[in-house]
Structure 1
Amino acid sequence: MLQNNPALKSKIDQLWNKFWSGGISNPLTAIEQITYLLFMKRLDDLDLKQQADAEFTGDKFTSRFAGTWIPPEHRDKAAEDQKPFAVDKNSLRWSEFKRMSAEPMLTHVQTKVFPFLKDLNGKESSFTHHMKNAVFVIPKPMLLVEAVKTIDEMYGEMENDSQEKGQAFQDIQGDVYEYLLSEIASAGKNGQFRTPRHIIKLIAELVQPQLGHRIADPACGSGGFLLGAYQYIVTQLAVKAAKNNDSSAAQLQTDEDGFKRTSVSASLTENAKRILNESLWGYDIDSTMVRLGLMNLMMHGIDEPHIDYKDTLSKSFDEANHYDIIMANPPFTGSIDKGDINEDLNLGTTKTELLFIENIYRLLKKGGTAGVIIPQGVLFGSGKAFVEARKILVDRCDLKAVITLPSGVFKPYAGVSTAILLFTKAYDKQDKVDEPATQQVWFYDMNNDGYTLDDKRNKLEGFGDLQDIVAKYHSRKPEQASDRTQKFFSVPRQEIVDENYDLSLSRYKEDVFEEIHYEKSEMILQKLLASEIGENLDMQALGKIQGGIVKELLELKGMVG
């Protein structure tokens, strides 16, 4: 965890400050440019490692930096005419160009290294495919030199941390990128903002994705939910493998939120790694977020993430009944062009928070489970589309739980009140519903997520309600959760139907009123008078007082006496 390495955090903060003072003040632009530099560094490091591994094992290996590169704009020329434009690929390595002086380095990276990265063919990675529209905007030679130097220093700190403290380099590298993402201080475009990582971990613990599950996020942003699913699966497999081998690796330390997590897939077989790499699918309508999401997963050790630039609500996205697990925090604000809404979405609304609920239902396989964050207005809105969306959840799905979150969870990005829905798809859209799937809905009123609920979101002592929710959810029994004065309770389906499918916790929670006994009014007034003029009250003398607080108290005393 980065809080245990102030030197590394300091380097990351230095990197941000260099971009700010270097003229790139938009946090989203800065993180995108940093991402490109990290990708250049990562590409070189991986290539050098594969080269060293091949030399050690005697296997044949062809470096992606071997030979020459002809820029695309010169490839239609005759071979002889191409020669003046040929670039030695080795000069495109991070470890080579970082030795250049300022002006030549900026020109080299702008005109050769960056175009080379964009030209890497799609089979190299999804990231290179989505680099096609990327723009390199670092304007000053010294900013590039300082950024390259700081990133190298960061990697040096990461190596030291790995060796001295035993944390896997892959996890540290992932933590660094997560910390970089957390520094984006604005909500970004289209109402996007990062879901707190402890909330993602909570949802992963509740839906419990498994190896072999096809997992998706239809509005994935920086890929946090896909990463959460990946880390949950890898952690479970690592713990299981360690137990089978009677290894101390089973004793993973819990993090500051009470969860055990690792990104390290070293204990996985090649087949398990292949299955895992084919398990994660994300989509977003913001090309910048697609690149950030891809890089986030790659920095955590997922070599080939499947994140694509697509609008999953539009007519062009025709997948259905495709995924075992969906974890998502879709955008709450705004609406979609009515003419572009997929014909399979029939709620008759342009509100994205409702369309995404129907869309997630559509994308799930029968028996597939979703953990979704929604604004609390969805739980009780009286409009037709709101009620129809809740009918889908209660009738066509087994709505397992509604967990309300405190309104400060998404600060400083937003103060909206939200809830987590957990549901399993039971009926397809075309199926006749003979017996509604939901029998009981489990409610939990989260008051404390382990952090302050102001803009600073500082860590509090303990785990808040997080671990209690996990334990209570997995051990829930309707007959044991009937006391509606508690933080959690179950409500039978018919009662929800009778309330027009209202799913707001406040509709069913019973408040506890504590009886308080007060002193009689005359006794209170007597004490107030005594506090003004002392204990020895001469009522005749008091009666001659013509004004002030004493006169008003006496008048009150006469009224209640």
Structure 2
Amino acid sequence: MSSLSNFVKRIRDIMRNDAGINGDAQRIEQLAWMLFLKIYDAREDDWEIDDDNYQSIIPEECRWRNWAADDKSGKAMTGDTLLNFVNNTLFPTLKNLNVTPDTPLKKSIVKTTFEDANNYMKDGVLLRQVINVIDELDLSDYEESHAFGEIYESILRELQSAGSAGEFYTPRAVTDFMAKMIKPKIGEKMADFACGTGGFITSWLKELAPQVKTTADQAEYANSIYGVEKKQFPYMLCITNMLLHGLDVPNIYHDNSLLRDVLDYTEEDQFDVILMNPPYGGSEKADVKNHFPADLASSETADLFMSVIMYRLKKNGRAAVILPDGFLFGTDNAKVAIKKKLLSEFNLHTIIRLPSSVFSPYTSITTNILFFDRTGSTTETWYYRLDMPEGYKHFSKTKPMKLEHFDPVIEWWNNRQEINIDGFDKAKKYTVKQLTDDFGYNLDLCGYPHEEEEILDPMDLIQRYEEKRASLNAEIDRVLAEITALLGGTKE
């Protein structure tokens, strides 16, 4: 177990000496495909015990146990021999595995996982050293396997500081809080249509696990998740994460959730629960927008995902979704249409405002958690502003957000009361009439009083200004139309 505690450090120290590894993002990507093969090999051990006729999709020479495992007899490949095998046999073989529509998911994931994977290392001796560190993991030992799950979490956390890879990771405190408040039940299916490394899925499983009492419950538990991830690298990390959590058939697909007509979704495509942090800040091409009704066809990625969520949430289903401030204050046509649909067809019962540095250092854009269900239209919406905890100026890599920082919300949740501090609303209830008629679908209420202290990255700042400008223009148009109507004229 002691070797586990410095597992990441040992690998980092070896990789630093390899000329092919350039920065944290490549180091983690290099580690990811090796961990996948090691963990997949351990799962195959279990599958072989359960099924005497089990046949691996991976040819024998490419199975981890046959090329990577070192029995210390001096026969393990190293140096140029190992490098040549990895580059010219292992990768081409796994990228070109024969997968048909009939191939079981637990086998086809090997090819999908390797589609865009790379071996960056150029020194075969160093590569052997890294492989040996990974091979020391005893994943058949429950305690060690569980402890390694924690280490895998820390590897995923490192993505936050590995350049653009940070977008794949939502802080665990946030996913845990959302899963806790959504109250999973055995027999329900949850979905995340942009699941990244699987943070929401693992939080859902963790919250659901104590309810597993029978083998039937276990089967429901294993079948309770559905994820889609567009980018290859987080998809690989997510599949590995699921295998580590004992899910033999992870229902995770390498696909783009925005490339299907939302009007084609039927009840078969709907879920009891949706937990998500949709990608935001992205701008989608016209062909993506064609999959949405004209009034909902926003060019902003988060808006489009919000529409997908609304079309794919079951009757009586529940959702918790992270959205940027731009969604709340935006009053351009598409955003208003999306919010109209949300308030008229769903019950948006709670909005939790989050401090700006929750996603630091990846982005400083302030976000919110919207909790809603499909039980009828909204009558009232509660807001709660979560302030920074005592002793914190902002969250950071060394001082990340913790689940206990949500304690004030959890305490307030079941005994809701309006709270006003120094003249600023911290918790307040608004009727749907106020949100629609009085505020014109600008849901930016109970915000942070000291907005001027917020320092944004230049690109985030530009995006914020563009959103504010679009929102103000729409607001001016709305007010002018009202004035014109009062004066008895019509405004073209």
Aligned match of 1:95:
69
Deviation at 1:274, TM superposition (A): 2.5
Q: In the alignment, is residue 215 of structure 1 matched against residue 182 of structure 2?
A: no
3-state secondary structure, aligned to 1:308: strand
Among 356, 369, 376, the residue aligned to 2:325: 376
CA contact (8 A) 2:303 2:335 kept: yes
Matched-pair contact (CA < 8 Å) for 1:65–1:89: no
Following superposition of structure 1 onto structure 2, how do residues 270-281 of structure 1 map, counting pairs within 5 Å? Answer: 270-281=215-226
Q: 1:47 to 1:387 in 2, by over 3 A?
A: closer
For 2:206, the equivalent position in structure 1 comes to 231
Cα deviation, 1:460-514, whole Å, max 9, x if unaligned, reads 8x865412312322x145xxx24544632322222222221232233799xxxxx
Matched, 1:133 2:115: yes
Contact kept, 8 Å, 1:402 with 1:419, in 2: the verdict is yes
Alignment of structure 1 residues 70-109 onto 2, 5 Å: 92=66, 94-95=68-69, 99-109=76-86
Q: Is the CA contact (8 Å cut-off) linking 1:365 and 1:425 kept in structure 2?
A: yes
Match of 1:500 among 414, 418, 440: 440
Instruction: Render the CA deviation track for 1:46-93: whole Å, top value 9, x for unaligned.
Output: 344555x56xxxx74556399x76xxxxxxxxxxxxxxxxx5979735
Contact 1:369/1:424 (8 A) holds in 2: yes
Q: CA deviation at 1:387?
A: 2.1
Aligned equivalents of 2:351 and 2:2: distance in 1?
39
Which amino acid in 2 is paired with 1:152? D
Question: By how many angstroms is 1:97 displaced?
Answer: 8.1
What SS does structure 2 have at the residue aligned with 1:409? helix
Deviations 1:421-453 (A, max 9, x none): 0011246xxxxxxxxx11221111101368662
Query: 1:458 is matched with which residue?
Result: 399
Distance 1:351 1:385 in 2: 9
- Describe the shift of the 1:135–1:410 C-alpha distance in structure 2 as closer, same or farther (beyond 3 A): closer
Cα distance in 2 for partners of 1:424, 1:316 equals: 22
Residue 337 of structure 1 and its aligned partner are, at CA, apart by: 0.7
1:414 aligned onto 2:356? no
> What are the equivalent positions in structure 2 for 1:162-181 lying under 5 Å apart?
168-181=143-156
Q: Compute the displacement of 1:24 (Å).
A: 1.2
Kindly indicate whether the alpha-carbon contact (under 8 Å) linking 1:449 and 1:466 is maintained by their aligned counterparts in 2.
Answer: no
Q: 1:88 to 1:421 in 2, by over 3 A?
A: closer
| 1:399–1:423 CA contact under 8 A, matched in 2 | yes
2:301 to 343, 347, 352: 352
Alignment check: 8 A CA contact 2:379 2:431 kept: yes
Deviation of residue 208 (structure 1)? Answer: 1.6
Q: Does 1:188 align with 2:170?
A: no
SS at match of 1:142: helix
Could you say which structure has the greater relative contact order, defined with CA pairs below 8 angstroms and 6 or more residues apart?
A: 2
1:13 aligns with 2:5: no
Report the Cα offset of residue 201 of structure 1: 0.2
The CA distance in 2 between the partners of 1:204 and 1:60, in whole Å, is 38
Give the direction of change, closer, same or farther, for the CA distance of 1:444–1:110 in structure 2 (3 Å limit).
same
Structure 1 residues 479-558: aligned runs within 5 Å: 481-485=417-421, 487-497=426-436, 498-506=438-446
- Whole-Å Cα distance in 1 between the matches of residues 393 and 448 of structure 2? 27
Report if the CA contact (8 A) 1:397-1:426 is conserved. Answer: yes
Change (3 A) 1:457 1:64: same
Partner of 1:265: none
Give the counterpart of 1:200 among 163, 167, 175.
Answer: 175
Matched residues in 2 for 1:28 and 1:419: separation? 28
CA contact (8 A) 2:419 2:426 kept: no
* Structure 2: gaps spanning 5 or more residues: 450-492
Residues 467-478 of structure 1 correspond to what in structure 2 (within 5 A)? 467-473=407-413, 475-477=414-416
Q: Which amino acid aligns with 2:56?
A: R
SS of the residue 2:428 aligns to: strand
Unaligned runs of 5+ in 1: 70-86, 242-268, 428-436, 510-561
Partners of 2:41 and 2:143 lie apart in 1 by: 20
Cα RMSD (Å): 3.2
Q: What SS does the corresponding residue of 1:188 show, helix, strand or coil?
A: helix
Match of 1:448? 388
- C-alpha change, 1:505 and 1:336, in structure 2 (3 Å) is same
1: CA distance between counterparts of 2:227 and 2:155?
Answer: 20
SS of 1:403's equivalent in the other structure is strand
Question: What amino acid is the match of 1:178?
Answer: E
Instruction: Tell me how far apart the structure 2 counterparts of residues 187 and 384 of structure 1 sit (CA, whole Å).
Output: 34
CA deviation string 1:5-53 (max 9, x = no partner): 87534221221233333131243333232122112222333344555x5
From 237, 253, 264, the counterpart of 1:292: 237
Name the counterpart of 1:64: 56
Amino acid at match of 2:116: A
Which one has the largest radius of gyration?
1
Match of 1:339 in 2: 287
Q: 1:315 aligns with which of 252, 260, 277?
A: 260
Please report the TM-score for the alignment, with normalisation by the length of structure 1.
0.69
Deviates more, 1:91-100 or 1:193-202: 91-100
Native 8 Å contact 2:113 2:232 kept in 1: no
* Equivalent-residue separation in structure 2 for 1:140 and 1:456 (angstroms): 31
Counterpart CA distance in 2 for 1:14 and 1:416 is 35
1:147 partnered with 2:147: no
Question: What percentage of aligned pairs have identical amino acids?
Answer: 26
Q: Please report how far the alpha carbon of residue 276 of structure 1 lies from its aligned counterpart in structure 2 after TM superposition.
A: 2.4
Describe the SS at the equivalent of 1:331: coil
Is 1:102–1:145's contact at 8 Å kept on the other side of the alignment?
A: yes
CA distance in 1, matches of 2:442, 2:62: 66
The whole-number CA distance in structure 1 between the counterparts of 2:207 and 2:63 is 39
Q: Quick check: 1:196–1:410 contact (8 Å CA) kept in 2?
A: yes
Match of 2:347 among 398, 403, 409: 398
Please give the alpha-carbon distance, in whole angstroms, between the structure 2 residues aligned to 1:507 and 1:463.
22
Counterpart Cα distance in 2 of 1:112 and 1:441: 58
In 2: Cα distance, 1:42 partner to 1:36 partner:
10
Separation in 2 of the partners of 1:341 and 1:204? 30
Q: 1:64 to 1:96 in 2, by over 3 A?
A: farther
Superposition deviation, residue 233 in structure 1: 0.7
Matched to 1:199, the amino acid is V
Check conservation: 2:187, 2:220, Cα contact below 8 A. yes
Residue 230 of structure 1 deviates from its aligned partner by: 1.4
Change (3 A) 1:356 1:133: same
- Equivalent-residue separation in structure 1 for 2:98 and 2:143 (angstroms): 29
Q: Secondary structure at the match of 1:222?
A: coil
